[in-house]
């Protein structure tokens, strides 16, 4: 059966500078095994599959796959999926608000003058990082424990542990090596460091995670991580919204996630989205 496909660039105003996402627009009837196999074949960090919603409150449903597994939630697939759904003719119940259904539940996506932004979902794990595990993390990052200003669990689905360094330069200088990880299972590390005041970006962000066979991958631009980092940085007074982060610099990308916060405390993560290619896939 032939299905529509869009390749969407997310989180950058310049084409080919953000995080690419493949979106299969009409995925109804595909098995989980086919979705996972297609994701591995595409070899992008994530591929999204759009489906009719099962919740009366949702406009559409999405299943999000990495090369290794399905995720309950991810940021750049949320924005990219919403963009693809709207471009394919999707009509939301509310003109300026789209409700996405995913494994983590319902996620609101706001439509505004600056593009799409999603409401950061609640964390499934937060709080201090065990010192023994933090030692493993610093070993992987190749830094001394003393270089860590703070660390926390910032998991909203993918499994992030967040590490704050002194400045953006230290973040950009990291040369991580997952072969130094002595633990078991997957490892998802988000690292953040501030820029000097007055620049275009407030923080530099890097995201490292385990690939299909345990190897290290670096994500170009990561919505879920920027969401949980924002909740942490805003909550501890280390950031003031609105602000823009930089991500993907070491990979030759120019990711620019935009962070906003409502009066009620809701954190929104937004960025540019653009379809760079459309086509069909026979699955």
pLDDT tens, position by position, 153-182: 999 988 899 999 999 999 999 999 988 988
CATH number, position 23 = 3.10.310.10
Residue 72 and residue 150 in one domain: no
Answer yes or no: do 133 and 90 share one domain.
no
Q: Quote the DSSP letter at residue 35.
A: H
Do both 97 and 14 map to the same domain? yes
* Euclidean distance between CA atoms 257 and 255, whole angstroms: 6
Q: Verify that 45 and 145 share a domain, yes or no.
A: no
Same domain, 135 and 248: yes
- In this structure, the answer to whether residues 113 and 214 fall within a common structural domain is no
Identify whether the C-beta of residue 50 lies closer than 8 Å to the C-beta of residue 61.
yes
The reported pLDDT for the residue numbered 183 is 77
Q: In the numeric block, which tokens belong to residue 26?
A: 């009409």
Q: Do 71 and 113 reside in the same domain of the chain?
A: yes
What's the CA gap between 183 and 159, in Å, rounded? 15
Same domain, 275 and 260: no
What's the token pair of residue 144? 């001394």
Residue 275 near residue 32 (C-beta atoms within 8 A): no
Kindly state the helix (H) or strand (E) to which residue 136 belongs, with its residue range. helix 131-141
User: Hey, which residues are catalytic here?
Assistant: 46
Asked whether residue 106 falls in the same domain as residue 160, the answer is no
Q: Is the per-residue pLDDT at 276 higher than 80?
A: yes
Residue range 263-275: mean pLDDT, rounded? 97
Residue 210 per-residue DSSP state:
E
38 & 143 share domain: no
CA angle 111, 117, 119 (to 5 degrees): 115
Domain count for the chain, please give it: 2
Per-residue model confidence as pLDDT tens digits over 19-50: 999 999 999 999 999 999 999 999 999 999 99
Lowest mean pLDDT among 43-57, 137-151, 198-212: 198-212
The bridge status of strand 97-102 relative to strand 60-65 is parallel
CA distances from residue 255 to 88, 132, 241 in whole angstroms, order as listed: 25, 32, 18
Residues of the domain holding 24: 2-120+270-282
């Amino acid at each position: 059966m032939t299905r529509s496909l869009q390749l969407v660039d997310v989180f950058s105003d310049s084409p080919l500078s953000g995080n690419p996402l493949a979106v299969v627009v009409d995925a109804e009837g595909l098995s989980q095994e086919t979705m996972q196999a297609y994701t591995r074949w595409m070899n992008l960090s994530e591929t999204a599959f759009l489906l009719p919603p099962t919740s009366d409150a949702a406009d559409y449903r999405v299943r999000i796959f990495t090369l290794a597994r399905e995720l309950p939630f991810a940021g750049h697939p949320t924005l990219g999926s919403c963009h693809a759904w709207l471009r394919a003719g999707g009509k939301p119940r509310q003109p300026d608000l789209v409700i996405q259904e995913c494994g983590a539940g319902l996620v609101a996506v706001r439509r505004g003058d600056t593009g799409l932004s999603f409401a950061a979902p609640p964390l499934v794990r937060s709080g201090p990082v065990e010192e023994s595990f933090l030692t493993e993390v610093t070993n992987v990052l190749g830094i001394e424990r003393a270089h860590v200003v703070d660390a926390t669990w910032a998991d909203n689905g993918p499994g992030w542990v967040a590490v704050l360094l002194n400045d953006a330069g230290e973040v950009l200088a990291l040369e991580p090596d997952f072969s130094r990880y002595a633990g078991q299972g997957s490892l998802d590390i988000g690292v953040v460091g501030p820029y000097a005041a007055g620049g275009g970006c407030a923080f530099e962000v890097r995201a490292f995670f385990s690939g299909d066979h345990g190897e290290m991958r670096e994500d170009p631009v990561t919505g879920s991580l920027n969401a949980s980092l924002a909740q942490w940085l805003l909550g501890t007074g280390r950031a003031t919204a609105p602000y823009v982060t930089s991500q993907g610099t070491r990979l030759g990308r120019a990711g620019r996630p935009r962070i906003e916060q409502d009066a009620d405390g809701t954190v929104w993560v937004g960025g540019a989205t653009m379809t760079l290619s459309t086509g069909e896939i026979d699955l």
